[in-house]
């Protein structure tokens, strides 16, 4: 599923940039909007997981066990999710600006998006601080490249 994230998001982003983005300002707002939608989804997930952690009914215990079996780290501080979202904002804004500058850059953003997501999923379970540092660097690079290109 993680490998599919690059093609799913970047091809949709490319189509929308080609059809609806006409200025650099449009591209910036589009990138912020994309990131905002993801932030809302993550916030809902965090609130749901936080609720699971405070309840002790059988269904909540079962849900925690299922999440733990899937490798979801339930013992990490929620601030890491905030740090991750800041990196994601930079990444989405940068990728949008890059595609606005040159739609052919989808050949870079598509695999990069999948690789970054897979890195986060693979290493985030055991090395959260290093993973978040890697995500911050990836977001900063994407944003810098996007700004330089437009």
pLDDT digits 0-9 by tens, 67-119: 777 666 666 666 777 778 888 899 999 999 999 999 999 999 999 999 998 98
pLDDT score for 64: 73
* Lowest pLDDT segment from 39-43, 50-54, 73-77, 142-146: 73-77
Q: What is the mean pLDDT of residues 127-148?
A: 93
Helix, strand or coil for residue 125?
coil
Dmax over CA atoms of the chain, in Å, equals: 54
Residue 25 has pLDDT above 80, yes or no: yes
Q: Give the mean model confidence (pLDDT) for residues 48-72.
A: 76
Q: Which two tokens stand for residue 137?
A: 């660097």
HSE-CB for 137 with a 13 A CA cutoff:
9
pLDDT at 78: 64
| CA nearest neighbour of 133 among 87, 75, 91, 94 | 87
Q: Alpha helices of 70-127 — where are they, by DSSP H?
A: 79-101, 106-123
């Amino acid at each position: 599923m993680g490998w599919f994230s690059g093609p799913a998001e970047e091809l949709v982003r490319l189509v929308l940039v080609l059809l609806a983005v006409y200025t650099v300002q449009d591209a910036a707002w589009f990138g912020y909007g994309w990131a905002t939608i993801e932030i809302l989804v993550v916030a809902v997930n965090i609130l749901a997981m936080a609720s699971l952690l405070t309840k002790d009914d059988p269904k909540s215990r079962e849900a925690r066990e299922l999440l733990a079996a899937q490798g979801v780290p339930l013992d990490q501080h929620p601030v890491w999710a905030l740090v991750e979202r800041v990196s994601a904002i930079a990444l989405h804004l940068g990728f949008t600006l890059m595609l606005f500058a040159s739609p052919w850059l989808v050949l870079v953003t598509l695999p990069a998006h999948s690789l970054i997501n897979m890195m986060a999923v693979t290493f985030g379970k055991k090395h959260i601080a290093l993973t978040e540092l890697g995500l911050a660097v990836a977001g900063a690079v994407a944003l810098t490249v996007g700004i330089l290109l437009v």
